[in-house]
Structure 1
Amino acid sequence: MRHFLTTKNWRLLLAILLFFSSNVFSQNEIIGNVNARKTFSLNGKWQYIVDPYETGFYDYRFKERNINDREAYWSTDIPTNKLDRKEHQYNDKYLLNVPGDWNSQDPKFLYYEGSVWYKKSFDYTKSNAGNKLYLYFGAVNYKADVYLNGIKLGTHKGGFTPFNFEIPDNALKSTNNYLVVKVDDKRYADEIPTLNTDWWNYGGITRDVKLVELPSAAAIRNYAIQLKPVVNTTEVEGWVKLDNAKAGEKISVEIPELKVKKEFTADAGSAKINFKLPTTFQRWSPENPKLYNVVVTTAADKVTDKIGFRTITVDGKKLLLNGKTVFLKGISIHAEVPQEIRRAYSSKDAAMLLGWAKELGCNMVRLAHYPHDEAMTRMADSLGLLVWSEIPVYWTIDFTSDAVLEKAKVQLNEMISRDQNRASVIIWSVGNETPVSEARTRFMSTLLKTARGLDPSRLVSAALEVDYQSEKNLRVIDDPLGEYVDVVAFNEYLGWYGGTPEACRTANWATKYNKPLFISETGAEALGGYHADAGTLWSEEFQEWYYQEQVAMLKRMPDNFTGISPWILADFRSPRRNNATYQEGWNNKGLIDQHGRKKKAFYVMKAYYDSIKN
């Protein structure tokens, strides 16, 4: 008999086995809009154990410990008698704030990458004994193994997206529950992102942790409600997904302010929704970020959200918001608070970062290079800032690996599932500066198709890389991935990574694709407070000159030029940046410095944006 396991089949089988083996304890489908549910916060002080050898997970033969192993760190640390040897202990001498990264909380963690065990005790009684209870994490970087009272709830990989596990009834106690999370932020070649990045690898439980209580039947798992992506439409379409719904379960969608209430019937646990809004409804836009209360109800559950209604489409070379041409006055942002050298996570942090963007004159932000906290997208909704949201497929991902592709798809799905009702989000990005090859184009185009399938109401893109060293005056963006994106976006640093800023004077840009053209990055470093003449590298004056030349170049861009998001709003930490005088572990391309002070280049971009009227 002919052997059917060819090399290709072997690779596919291996990818399937790896995917399922890594998801033995996979998370449940994400609960949408957890803030509108009955929740109990587990934020606060958590005890911890630093475990660089992973002693709590592996025995001395480096085999994973049995779930009942009393020496495992997910087991109780309280001896049963005087002879019960315990070589681990959670103690209030060692506490970490949750949410928060560990790097910023103690100097010993500055460069630490490895495993830390978190432990939290809590009491909880369900409001209704028949309800289902879930443990929800806003994000944990990077791998989380979660145990409750010695029972493993699951494992999750991905440092910037939410996940949740159902808590079995036999795992919960009314008092003194013993929650343990093993957090591992080590970098690996076959993960997303991979080994090599240009940002700080902040480890820890970096976002909110909550218990979420849902009805046992007809609970609203998630929903998507938005305008149909057609110019001048008043038609709303989407879906509502229920848990354990009976056949014929009724779902209502109500917008009280518009006096709209529609009822739908669930089919196999979900319902497609489709209805029209009155012509008097206000479209969400940067000038008028109107949000409506939208209420989704079943016989057992009710969820309220604030949703804006707008369309984002492409017509040839034009980018259209609500059917009108829009120019994206953007800025790229890392999820960091530079003054405190930590990961951003709160509404207060979002208000600061997005407030700076508004002060710059932006109507758009690129949230790089990973999904930011939900507080950012919700605040962008209320402030009227358009959002580019991205998964960390960055630089040298293994584009030949089917298993890595599946990991990227999971993160893409988690990003979209959380923010699919945010009017501010107009572009899902599947990566940044990926080197051109057949394998890479196949990998990335698959992600673009996946994003479109998950959410056809928004645009898809990726930040492409260009040759900064080219001597040609006309620089054509012809990356084959341009065929698959809605907006051709590219990163250019002409005058920083190639030549000096006056090189912009003769440079012209174009793309072979009849699509909107967007500059997703440009920038130069300047140490905040360092002043010299414009010809001196690292000075604020050099960065100012760089932006002056860029702005002059932008004014003669082709007619499909649709906007820019310079790199970057604020200085951020990066272990790659090791000039002891001008960097010291910081990427100083920010328009705002490490201390929250605006550099001279900030005002160059502000003047440019103020001169543009949409």
Structure 2
Amino acid sequence: MKNKIIVLLFLFLGYITNAQWKPQGDKIKTKWAAQVDPNKTLPEYPRPIMERRQWKNLNGLWNYAIQDLGKTAPSKYDGQILVPFAVESSLSGVMKQVGAEKELWYSTTFSIDSGWKKKNILLHFGAVDWKTEVWINNVKVGSHTGGYTPFSFDITPFVKKGKNQKLVVKVWDPSNDGPQPRGKQVKNPEGIWYTPVTGIWQTVWIEPVNKKSITNLKTTPNVDQNSISIKADVVGAQEGDIIEITVFDGGKEIANEKAVVGENLDITLNNLKLWSPESPFLYQTKISLISNDKVIDEVKSYFAMRKISSKRDEFGIIRMQLNNKDYFQFGPLDQGWWPDGLYTAPTDEALKYDIIKTKELGFNMIRKHVKVEPERWYTHCDELGILVWQDMPSGDEQPTWQNKTYFEGNELKRTAKSEEIYKKEWAAIMDHLYSYPSIVVWVPFNEAWGQFKTVEITEWTKNHDPSRLTNSSSGGNHFQTGDILDLHNYPGPEMYLYDARRVTVLGEYGGIGLPLEGHLWRANDNWGYVKFKNENEVTAEYIKYAQILKNYVKSGFSAAVYTQTTDVEGEVNGFMTYDRKVDKMDFKKVKDINTEVINALNHK
């Protein structure tokens, strides 16, 4: 009887918690919004490329307050917010704007599992936009700037024994009043500009580690030499400590190597299995830190053997190559926005859904547009088999935009502070995502927005990661630097420039609009480059553009990006509606013509 009462009490408390939270506003929502559970919010492990067995998710209902800039911590909070959904989103349960003159405060408590007593406790934030300060039990433990990369603090010295731990977070985000990277966020969204995203927008979690532990993995495949280079960073290591790496093909161990901490391990692989969108094979790994013959730390990871490069073909055209073969890359512009969660997908199934639909359309690539996704998104791309072009989220102002000529003059004169922010955050993004094999192209600038010191930044990007191609400015002011000349043209494909020394691509085209009543973010003022009235018309126009593109593939384009995966707020030019409830084109016909476009490179 007593056990039944306890179970009923837990169910009742869960009901009360759910009753306190509900999505806000009357905007459209995805089907996954109804599956969001405040007691189990985005429960999946947030860092699948370096996984430990023990961890604890801190997502859920926290207290929040919006205060004037510069005030002390609130004595009373405004209500509850569902972390990790941005305060402006419906799923946060708040749906309020903050702005540069205010600060967003969070407060919650958490407990440390009893089995973790002799461990160091790391507090992880997946991403917080933009400037974050963190307190544990009234002690400030650290701060961070940057809206797109994870950060963590070792909170061990500040944890109290046998008590709930108090966590307070303060966030300031100037949105488009500041020079920081922000993507499409603006205070007054309209047209191609969207709602601001302030505060925590990725999973918050803790994990126990030993004083000696693995902090990062960097994997670099070398297809030409049948080898994988793996570097494990370690904190607290001493002379004589060893890293052991075991490689698995499925459940079968195929390699085992050891090296002293700090050394790269270059592991040769026999009977190499290459990764591609058609065959996305991943090798699994176990990385162990050994001290005095004891395993002190252990993580699971994976890697893929793939090579991205470029080479002149028999007709003198510089082509993109995948695994040393000419390969036409074709995919949608993917902005990663959600009507209910804004930057944050409501569930992991939702996060994966857009990639699955992209594959269903016959594409082999995604251009991730001026946004960085949670780590699970990149693992889904690795597992499903999709190439990724990763944009740097744009910020600051835009100089004169000259798209149709080579342009060697007008660039943005960023302030020293703005330039420092850009370089710090772009380096952090590249370092953070380095080991995800699906990423094959870095894009520092989009359409001249924030474009400055183009040659210098492009060379700096290329030197930071020479294993990938660098697309210096997608559709922007064109300088003869980097690996790619990237043209934008709307609505249909056009090759108005060509570069005989670099890869030439169509970085954006299309934008065919179809507003569907009942699936619109706003009732009117919806936007597309061209608009049609039904699925048949939109599909026919898409096929018309694809036929034109097919001819350009033969004459020089090595990749193309269609705008876009889904409608986003006021934009109605997606393959799917913003709520993902309607496919707006005939997907089978689109897949058939997309396959023809991709195969056109093999039938020059």
Q: TM-score, normalised by structure 1?
A: 0.75
The aligned counterpart of 1:306 is 302
User: Alpha-carbon deviations, 1:200-228, whole Å to 9, x = none?
Assistant: 322231111011222102x1111212212
The aligned counterpart of 1:609 is 594
- Aligned-pair distance for 1:275? 2.6
- When residues 364 and 116 of structure 1 are mapped into structure 2, their CA distance, relative to the original with a 3 A threshold, is same
The answer to whether the aligner puts 1:46 opposite 2:62 as a matched pair is yes
CA contact (8 A) 1:519 1:563 kept: yes
- Aligned-pair distance for 1:601? 7.4
Residue type at the aligned position of 2:80:
L
The aligned counterpart of 2:86 is 101
* Partner Cα separation in structure 2 for residue 595 and residue 251 of structure 1: 47
The answer to whether the aligner puts 1:465 opposite 2:475 as a matched pair is yes
CA contact (8 A) 1:221 1:241 kept: yes
- When residues 301 and 535 of structure 1 are mapped into structure 2, their CA distance, relative to the original with a 3 A threshold, is closer
* Partner Cα separation in structure 1 for residue 131 and residue 362 of structure 2: 38
CA contact (8 A) 1:296 1:304 kept: yes
Residue type at the aligned position of 1:366:
R
* Partner Cα separation in structure 2 for residue 96 and residue 351 of structure 1: 25
The answer to whether the aligner puts 1:207 opposite 2:195 as a matched pair is no
Residue type at the aligned position of 1:98:
V
* Partner Cα separation in structure 2 for residue 284 and residue 537 of structure 1: 39
* Partner Cα separation in structure 2 for residue 213 and residue 445 of structure 1: 44
The answer to whether the aligner puts 1:237 opposite 2:232 as a matched pair is no
Helix, strand or coil: the match of 1:509? coil
Residue type at the aligned position of 2:55:
T
- Aligned-pair distance for 1:381? 0.7
The answer to whether the aligner puts 1:297 opposite 2:297 as a matched pair is no
- When residues 382 and 32 of structure 1 are mapped into structure 2, their CA distance, relative to the original with a 3 A threshold, is closer
The aligned counterpart of 1:288 is 279
- Aligned-pair distance for 1:607? 3.2
- Aligned-pair distance for 1:286? 1.0
Q: 1:556 aligns with which of 551, 554, 564?
A: 551
Residue type at the aligned position of 2:503:
P
Residue type at the aligned position of 2:487:
F
* Partner Cα separation in structure 2 for residue 536 and residue 129 of structure 1: 62
- When residues 254 and 560 of structure 1 are mapped into structure 2, their CA distance, relative to the original with a 3 A threshold, is farther
Residue type at the aligned position of 2:511:
A
* Partner Cα separation in structure 1 for residue 143 and residue 280 of structure 2: 38
- When residues 198 and 35 of structure 1 are mapped into structure 2, their CA distance, relative to the original with a 3 A threshold, is farther
The aligned counterpart of 1:422 is 436
Residue type at the aligned position of 1:587:
E
Helix, strand or coil: the match of 1:226? strand
* Partner Cα separation in structure 2 for residue 435 and residue 339 of structure 1: 27
* Partner Cα separation in structure 2 for residue 41 and residue 435 of structure 1: 37
CA contact (8 A) 1:206 1:345 kept: no
Helix, strand or coil: the match of 2:148? coil
CA contact (8 A) 1:339 1:594 kept: no
Q: How does 1:573-612 map to 2 (within 5 A)?
A: 573=569, 586-596=570-580, 597-600=582-585, 605-611=590-596, 612=598
The aligned counterpart of 2:29 is none
The aligned counterpart of 1:151 is 139
The answer to whether the aligner puts 1:226 opposite 2:220 as a matched pair is yes
* Partner Cα separation in structure 1 for residue 484 and residue 324 of structure 2: 16
- Aligned-pair distance for 1:488? 2.4
CA contact (8 A) 1:225 1:237 kept: yes
User: Alpha-carbon deviations, 1:483-503, whole Å to 9, x = none?
Assistant: 1x223223221x4xxxxx6xx
* Partner Cα separation in structure 2 for residue 359 and residue 152 of structure 1: 48
* Partner Cα separation in structure 2 for residue 455 and residue 102 of structure 1: 35
- Aligned-pair distance for 1:527? 3.6
* Partner Cα separation in structure 1 for residue 431 and residue 105 of structure 2: 28
CA contact (8 A) 1:132 1:213 kept: yes
The aligned counterpart of 2:466 is 456
The answer to whether the aligner puts 1:252 opposite 2:244 as a matched pair is yes
* Partner Cα separation in structure 1 for residue 299 and residue 93 of structure 2: 43
Q: 1:315 aligns with which of 311, 314, 328?
A: 311
The aligned counterpart of 1:19 is none
Q: 2:447 aligns with which of 433, 443, 453?
A: 433
The aligned counterpart of 1:137 is 125
* Partner Cα separation in structure 2 for residue 289 and residue 536 of structure 1: 36
- Aligned-pair distance for 1:522? 1.6
User: Alpha-carbon deviations, 1:94-145, whole Å to 9, x = none?
Assistant: 2211121222236863554343211111111574555322211111122222
- When residues 588 and 322 of structure 1 are mapped into structure 2, their CA distance, relative to the original with a 3 A threshold, is same
* Partner Cα separation in structure 2 for residue 544 and residue 399 of structure 1: 43
CA contact (8 A) 1:463 1:490 kept: no
- Aligned-pair distance for 1:330? 0.7
CA contact (8 A) 1:192 1:404 kept: no
- When residues 588 and 535 of structure 1 are mapped into structure 2, their CA distance, relative to the original with a 3 A threshold, is closer
- Aligned-pair distance for 1:451? 3.3
Q: Which runs of 5+ in 2 are unaligned?
A: 1-45, 187-191, 291-295, 313-317, 399-411, 518-527
The aligned counterpart of 2:423 is 409
Residue type at the aligned position of 1:225:
T
- When residues 150 and 603 of structure 1 are mapped into structure 2, their CA distance, relative to the original with a 3 A threshold, is same
- Aligned-pair distance for 1:185? 2.9
CA contact (8 A) 2:47 2:376 kept: no
* Partner Cα separation in structure 2 for residue 307 and residue 184 of structure 1: 37
CA contact (8 A) 2:50 2:217 kept: no
* Partner Cα separation in structure 2 for residue 306 and residue 164 of structure 1: 22
CA contact (8 A) 1:31 1:222 kept: no
CA contact (8 A) 1:394 1:431 kept: no
- Aligned-pair distance for 1:304? 1.0
- When residues 413 and 446 of structure 1 are mapped into structure 2, their CA distance, relative to the original with a 3 A threshold, is same
* Partner Cα separation in structure 1 for residue 572 and residue 93 of structure 2: 22
The aligned counterpart of 2:397 is 396
CA contact (8 A) 1:313 1:459 kept: yes
* Partner Cα separation in structure 2 for residue 313 and residue 167 of structure 1: 43
- When residues 512 and 312 of structure 1 are mapped into structure 2, their CA distance, relative to the original with a 3 A threshold, is closer
* Partner Cα separation in structure 1 for residue 463 and residue 289 of structure 2: 27
Residue type at the aligned position of 2:264:
K
CA contact (8 A) 2:445 2:472 kept: yes
The aligned counterpart of 2:485 is 488
Query: Aligned residue pairs: how many?
Result: 506
